[in-house]
């Protein structure tokens, strides 16, 4: 009898030790980095409402976790009461199951980043879309022709030029052009919110007029402090029915016609297009680029100044003027004279280079025509002595 009891106790002790040993193994495996997939990276898509057991199965099949039991232990060790978040997750190195659990609970889903700078046109955005691997540029162009997202605020729009808000977007791999375009329009509507719209209405400007003016401001200056001043210049000109005479509008017109060569000439300023604000007074038919938040605000809240002109200082800033004589003096100071000085310096440099080259050039060698290899050279005849 005693022997039986001893055997039972021994078996129970071994069982406890075995369970404890197995538990210890599982515990340490939950802390041990693991990877069995051979590719450089592995993606796992967790659908909304997926159970812990199903998530474990997905991770095991993907080679991210050793087995489902280890995953369950890792979840228990993590002590998380929060649910795991749906989305696509990227794995590119061995990772411990415990860290996998924490990653899914935090919702560290894999997102690709794309940034659209302020002042881009639709075609420029489409190229960025393709360069970042989201899809062909044509798909973005096609999506941007659908005006349904803005029909409530701009019934005249023929495309989404000006309404695709320039910003940084973090997107899942599955994002297509239509998804991104709708997201960009939503970001525009959030930025150009109710307060700005009310102020625009008070100034008797509709959304399209604001975005068009803001797009011109965006293309004219990259300095935030100058945007209200540039907006004031064009606002004042509109009040006086003066032509806006904005170079970026002419460039946009030429681009639409496929005629822009990279340089704006005097002949270009006469190009027949409603977007050419040298030929036609008032705002162009629509936006020429996507303005940022500060340009949108400047279009609605221009500076209270009497300026009607501005000219580049060639350093990114501009000199503003109220009268044409003052503007002409600014043009002379910041454009004509510096350009003349640059031409003189370039000419002097060319002259100096030519002078150095002429001094350093080796003397010309006098070469004789080679003898005809088919003939034997003859000795020169000796001079005859004169007889006395």
pLDDT digits (tens, 9 = 90+) for 183-209: 999 999 999 999 999 999 999 999 999
Q: Are residues 43 and 102 in the same domain?
A: yes
Are 231 and 303 members of one domain?
A: yes
* 213 & 130 share domain: no
Q: What is the pLDDT of residue 363?
A: 58
Compute the average pLDDT of residues 125-134: 96
On whether both 91 and 133 belong to a single domain, the answer is no
Average pLDDT estimate for 358-375: 51
Indicate whether 116 and 175 sit together in one domain.
yes
In this model, does residue 8 exceed pLDDT 60?
no
Q: Percentage of the chain with pLDDT > 70?
A: 84
CA distance 305 to 351: 48
Rounded to an integer, the average pLDDT of 39-55 is 94
The answer on 300 and 216 residing in a single domain is yes
pLDDT at 30: 80
- pLDDT tens-digit map of 204-254: 999 999 999 999 999 999 999 999 999 999 999 999 999 999 999 999 999
Residue 168: phi, psi to the nearest 5? -100, 130
Clarify whether residues 214 and 262 are in a common domain: yes
298-316: average pLDDT: 96
In a domain, 125, yes or no: yes
Mark whether 209 and 299 lie in a shared domain.
yes
Per-chain mean pLDDT for the chain? 87
**Can you give the CATH number for the domain in which 81 is found?**
3.30.1490.480
Q: What domain range is 163 assigned to?
A: 112-191
The DSSP element (H or E) to which 137 belongs, if any, is helix 137-144
Does residue 370 sit in helix, strand or coil? coil
Say if residue 356's pLDDT is above 90. no
- pLDDT score recorded for residue 98: 92
- The pTM assigned to this predicted structure is 0.79
Question: 131 and 214, same structural domain?
Answer: no
Minimum mean pLDDT range among 88-92, 119-123, 125-129, 346-350: 346-350
Looking at the fold, whether 133 and 210 belong to one and the same domain comes out as no
In the predicted structure, residue 384 carries a pLDDT above the cut 90? no
Asked if residue 317 belongs to a domain, the reply is: no
Banded model confidence at residue 181, pLDDT cuts 50, 70, 90: very high
More confident of the two residues 294 and 3:
294
Distance CA 265, CA 275 (A): 16
pLDDT at 361: 56
Q: Which residue has the tokens 């606002």?
A: 235
CA distances from 221 to 117, 171, 231, 332 (A): 14, 30, 10, 20
Domain limit, last residue, from 307, 329, 356: 307
pLDDT at 360: 60
Pick from 307, 340, 371: which residue ends a domain?
A: 307
Q: Which residues pair with 34 in a beta bridge?
A: 95
Please give the pLDDT value at position 9. Answer: 39
Whether residue 29 is contained in a domain is answered as yes
pLDDT band at 381; cut points 50, 70, 90: very low
Residue 153 belongs to a domain: yes
Are the C-beta atoms of residues 134 and 177 closer than 8 Å to each other?
Answer: yes
Residue 38 belongs to a domain = yes
Confidence tier at 25 by pLDDT (50, 70, 90): low
Q: What is the DSSP string of 184-219?
A: HHHHHHHHS-HHHHHHHHHTT--HHHHHHHHHHHHH
Bridge partners, 78 (sequence order): none
Q: How many domains does the chain have?
A: 3
State yes or no: pLDDT of 330 exceeds 80: yes
Same domain, 239 and 291: yes
- The predicted pLDDT at position 372 comes to 47
**CB contact at 8 A, 122 and 70:** no
Contacts of 203 (CB under 8 A, 6+ apart): 300
Q: Is residue 313 part of a domain?
A: no
The pLDDT-based confidence of 166 (bands split at 50, 70, 90) is: very high
CA 95 to chain centre: 33
Tokens found for residue 22: 């197995």
Domain membership of residue 173 (yes or no) is: yes
**Residue 34: strand, helix, or coil:** strand
Banded model confidence at residue 80, pLDDT cuts 50, 70, 90:
confident
Same domain, 223 and 301: yes
Last residue of a domain, one of 246, 281, 307: 307
The verdict on residue 74 lying in a domain is yes
What's the confidence (pLDDT) of residue 350? 80
């Amino acid at each position: 009898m005693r022997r039986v009891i001893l055997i039972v106790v021994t078996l129970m002790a071994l069982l406890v030790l075995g369970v404890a040993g197995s538990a210890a193994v599982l515990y340490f495996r939950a802390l041990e980095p693991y990877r069995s997939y051979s590719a450089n990276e592995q993606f796992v898509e967790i659908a909304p409402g997926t159970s812990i057991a199903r998530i474990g199965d997905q991770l095991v099949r993907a080679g991210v976790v050793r087995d489902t039991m280890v995953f369950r232990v890792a979840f228990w060790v993590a002590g998380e009461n929060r649910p795991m978040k749906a989305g696509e997750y990227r794995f590119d190195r061995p990772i411990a199951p415990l860290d996998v659990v924490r990653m899914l609970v935090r919702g560290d889903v894999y997102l690709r980043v794309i940034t659209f700078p302020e002042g881009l046109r639709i075609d420029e955005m489409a190229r960025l879309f393709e360069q970042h691997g989201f899809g062909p540029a044509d798909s973005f162009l096609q999506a941007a022709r659908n005006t349904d997202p803005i029909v409530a605020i701009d019934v005249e729009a023929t495309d989404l030029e000006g309404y695709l808000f320039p910003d940084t977007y973090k997107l899942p791999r599955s994002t297509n052009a239509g998804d991104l375009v709708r997201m960009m329009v939503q970001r525009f509507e959030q930025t150009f919110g109710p307060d700005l719209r009310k102020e625009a209405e008070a100034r008797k400007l509709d959304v399209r007029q604001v975005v068009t003016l803001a797009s011109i401001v965006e293309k004219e200056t990259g300095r935030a402090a100058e945007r209200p001043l540039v907006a004031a210049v064009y606002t004042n000109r509109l009040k006086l029915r003066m032509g806006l005479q904005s170079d970026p509008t002419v460039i946009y017109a030429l681009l639409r016609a496929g005629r822009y060569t990279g340089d704006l000439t005097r002949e270009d300023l006469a190009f027949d297009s409603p977007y050419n604000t040298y030929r036609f007074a008032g705002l162009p038919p629509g936006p020429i680029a996507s303005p940022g938040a500060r340009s949108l605000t400047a279009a609605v809240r221009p500076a209270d100044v009497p300026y009607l002109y501005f000219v580049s200082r060639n350093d990114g800033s501009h000199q503003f003027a109220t009268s044409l004589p003052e503007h002409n003096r600014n043009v002379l100071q910041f454009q004509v004279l510096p350009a003349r000085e640059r031409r003189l310096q370039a000419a002097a440099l060319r002259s100096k280079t030519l002078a150095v080259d002429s001094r350093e050039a080796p003397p010309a060698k006098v070469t004789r025509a080679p003898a005809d290899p088919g003939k034997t050279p003859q000795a020169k005849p000796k001079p005859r002595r004169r007889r006395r």
